[in-house]
Structure 1
Amino acid sequence: MGAHEARAHLVDPEVAHAAQVRELAAAGVLRDPAWRAAFAAVPRHLFVPWFWTGRGAGHERLWCEDPDPERRARWLRGVYADEPLVTRIRDGELLSSSSQPSLMAKMLHALDVRDGDDVLEIGAGTGYNAALLCHRLGDEHVTTVELDEEIAESARTHLAGLGFHPAVVTGDGARGCPARAPFDRILVTCGLPRIPPAWLAQCRPGARILGPLSTGLIALEVRDAGLAEGRFLHNPAYFVPLRGAGAAPAGPAGGVPYELLENDRFQFMLMLTAGALHPREALDLWRREGRPGRERFGVTVTPEGQWSWLDDPQGPYVWPLGEEGAGS
């Protein structure tokens, strides 16, 4: 095989796709055969025809039809790297991205779906995640909501290209999708400051809500329309915020050593307790409690309010969550 042929082989979409599935399986994130089959059947490159990569102070767009073969090769290598990809920028603002595939696999596994479950996805993005859900559950069981009509239409096109036709709804994800309720699972692919109360009323009892909060993934069990509660997974998670419901800045971290501000576990607690604890108080508590990781924290949602907590929702360490009215 000549050098040119070897390079072409290395960037062949089918070869790159198969290699990514093997890598995800080897990493242990595709333990469920149904999800491995979904990732094997749904190629990422069909959902990410272009993406933006940072270059100094600006951005560079890599796309599938670039006339330069080397740039096309970089596009394909980027698509099948285990990395999040920026897919939409408008006026300098990041609007949408394609999540890191290994994190997607972890979230889908943690969603714990069963045959026949009805799933609401908040944030259609490229449509890739919805396609994986459609392969696993069937189109009729998948609803995905996207605020931006242009992004929603692009997702519909990508999905239809592979023969998937879930309900792709343009609307405010914080309001859910009452016309398609009730749901057994809600999967959120954008960062949240708190849990929109409308979601609970659209869930069946025993439903599961999984989504990014602070810099973690919260898994809530919905008891009924008035109560949901659960713990964080241990995984870190960084997502584009849910627009219109962005979290308030954490504020100055006075008295906190710089090196701890970059500590992933402490940063999580600092964001989760922002507005309720002074950063120095958060640091003292974090040290006193043995530098707890995400999995020791949880969240309770009721009509009266929302709280985060450490270890026990009835214990001594409970804080109001987010800003009142955000996400509602």
Structure 2
Amino acid sequence: MSAQALDKDLDDLAAAARAALVREIDASGAWADDPVWREAFAAVPRHLFVPYYYVGVAGGYERRWGQSPDAAARERWVRGAYADTPLATRLRDGELLSSSSQPSLMAMMLVALEVADGDRVLEIGAGTGYNAALLAHRLGDDDLVTTVDLEPEITEAARQHLAAAGHHPAVVTGDGARGVPERAPFDRIIATCALPSIPRAWLAQCRAGARILTPLATGLVALTVRDAEHAEGRFLHTPAYFVPLRGGGGTSPLERGRELGGRAEREPAHVGGLPRGAREHELFRFLLALTRGSLDPQEAYALWEREGQPQRERYGITVSGEHEWAWLDDPEGPYAWALPG
């Protein structure tokens, strides 16, 4: 079979797999509130953004890549590229540096970002470039999208992937915690990496009324920016585990041990005396992550039980000047915990 025929077979397989992924996300209801994203996921070819990736196997990772000489291996690569799972894309000494997030989670986050026509969007964590391509397709103007990552090798690869897919947003190499002031002001900021707190630089680069969506403490918080000194918002209902931001934003000890897309893999310190049901409960572990440094696990457990094992939507974040805190139910209520500034 000729190389052209092989390419056509892979293209056909990719198209069919992409359509199946769109149907799967559709059935999940992820974009029910903003179905315009369905067309973006149907149009943007994810496999162009993951020319290779790693899957977990006994004892480590197995590399899958699109240029494998083995036809069956190439087929596995294409099918895996369109699975509704996160994909590890860069490793260093066994540590995960970058990934392509689970597509249904990406869809949910993009809907929650509440993008409108003409919005200028900053993405923190370029990854493979796939998310930036989805944003560029949705907005219909590459210049409205900026994506930043600390590692030059990541941004260069993202730039190449985006070009292969026909998009040319601004791809910047730098510390995401510092934003991209030369491309400001922004109407939306979305982070695809975990942070311990909200960088003040982001607020300063936002227009009044802008929306920030970022992973924090194994959840996703959506903030409305009032001005350069003030922002506030609540967590979404869904759990979310992301690779930590590298650079000035720092890395929280709890997040450093997490695996891509995983569930509470690392036992927090000093929880041995708590009931096993609480230790393993995803919402309690969220509370532990959110109050780390402010509450010890016994205090967190007492609060969690007293308040009826609260869902994520009852928690929020407030940024006011030099102060930043997490809270339960009410920003000025009795349950508030300082975040690292």
Bucket of the pairwise TM-score, normalised by the shorter protein: over 0.9
Aligned mates of 2:28, 2:165 — CA distance in 1: 27
Structure-2 residue corresponding to 1:142: 145
Amino acid at match of 1:253: V
2:288 pairs with 1:270: yes
Amino acid at match of 1:248: P
Q: 72, 93, 98: which one pairs with 1:91? A: 93
1:164 Cα deviation from its structure 2 partner: 0.6
Structure-2 residue corresponding to 1:57: 59
Tell me the alpha carbon deviations over residues 12-67 of structure 1, each in whole angstroms, 9 at most, x when there is no partner.
11111111111111211133232111111101111111111111122110111112
Structure-2 residue corresponding to 1:188: 191
1:293 Cα deviation from its structure 2 partner: 1.0
2:195 pairs with 1:215: no
1:142 Cα deviation from its structure 2 partner: 0.3
Structure-2 residue corresponding to 1:18: 19
Q: Contact 2:10–2:75 (CA<8 Å) still a contact in 1? A: no
2:195 pairs with 1:201: no
Amino acid at match of 1:18: A
Structure-1 residue corresponding to 2:265: none
2:244 pairs with 1:241: yes
Q: 278, 296, 300: which one pairs with 2:314? A: 296
Aligned mates of 1:251, 1:184 — CA distance in 2: 39
Map 1:298-317 onto structure 2 (within 5 A). Answer: 298-317=316-335
Secondary structure of the 1:52 match is strand
Structure-1 residue corresponding to 2:273: 255
Aligned mates of 1:66, 1:114 — CA distance in 2: 41
Q: Contact 1:10–1:16 (CA<8 Å) still a contact in 2? A: no
Q: Contact 1:11–1:77 (CA<8 Å) still a contact in 2? A: no
Q: Contact 1:254–1:279 (CA<8 Å) still a contact in 2? A: no
Structure-2 residue corresponding to 1:4: none
1:76 Cα deviation from its structure 2 partner: 1.8
Aligned mates of 1:42, 1:302 — CA distance in 2: 39
Aligned mates of 2:322, 2:337 — CA distance in 1: 14
C-alpha distance 246-160 of structure 1, shift in aligned 2 (>3 A): same
1:255 Cα deviation from its structure 2 partner: 2.0
Equivalent pairs: percent with the same residue? Answer: 64
1:11 Cα deviation from its structure 2 partner: 7.9
Q: Contact 1:122–1:176 (CA<8 Å) still a contact in 2? A: yes
Aligned mates of 2:104, 2:279 — CA distance in 1: 26
1:254 Cα deviation from its structure 2 partner: 4.3
Aligned mates of 1:10, 1:151 — CA distance in 2: 25
Aligned mates of 2:209, 2:11 — CA distance in 1: 46
C-alpha distance 173-320 of structure 1, shift in aligned 2 (>3 A): same
Tell me the alpha carbon deviations over residues 215-241 of structure 1, each in whole angstroms, 9 at most, x when there is no partner.
100000000001000000001100000
Secondary structure of the 2:236 match is strand
Structure-1 residue corresponding to 2:229: 226
Map 1:17-56 onto structure 2 (within 5 A). Answer: 17-31=18-32, 32-56=34-58
1:191 Cα deviation from its structure 2 partner: 0.5
Map 1:109-188 onto structure 2 (within 5 A). Answer: 109-137=111-139, 138-188=141-191
Cα RMSD (Å)? 1.5
1:251 Cα deviation from its structure 2 partner: 3.5
Secondary structure of the 1:300 match is strand
Q: Contact 1:255–1:279 (CA<8 Å) still a contact in 2? A: no
1:92 Cα deviation from its structure 2 partner: 1.6
Structure 1, unaligned stretches of length 5 or more? 1-7
- Work out the number of aligned pairs and report it: 316
Aligned mates of 2:165, 2:73 — CA distance in 1: 25
Aligned mates of 2:308, 2:11 — CA distance in 1: 47
Aligned mates of 2:282, 2:272 — CA distance in 1: 18
Q: Contact 2:10–2:78 (CA<8 Å) still a contact in 1? A: no
Q: Contact 2:208–2:227 (CA<8 Å) still a contact in 1? A: yes
Aligned mates of 1:95, 1:248 — CA distance in 2: 16
Secondary structure of the 1:246 match is coil
Q: Contact 1:300–1:306 (CA<8 Å) still a contact in 2? A: yes
Q: 309, 312, 320: which one pairs with 2:338? A: 320
Q: Contact 1:42–1:132 (CA<8 Å) still a contact in 2? A: yes
1:252 Cα deviation from its structure 2 partner: 2.6
Secondary structure of the 1:228 match is strand
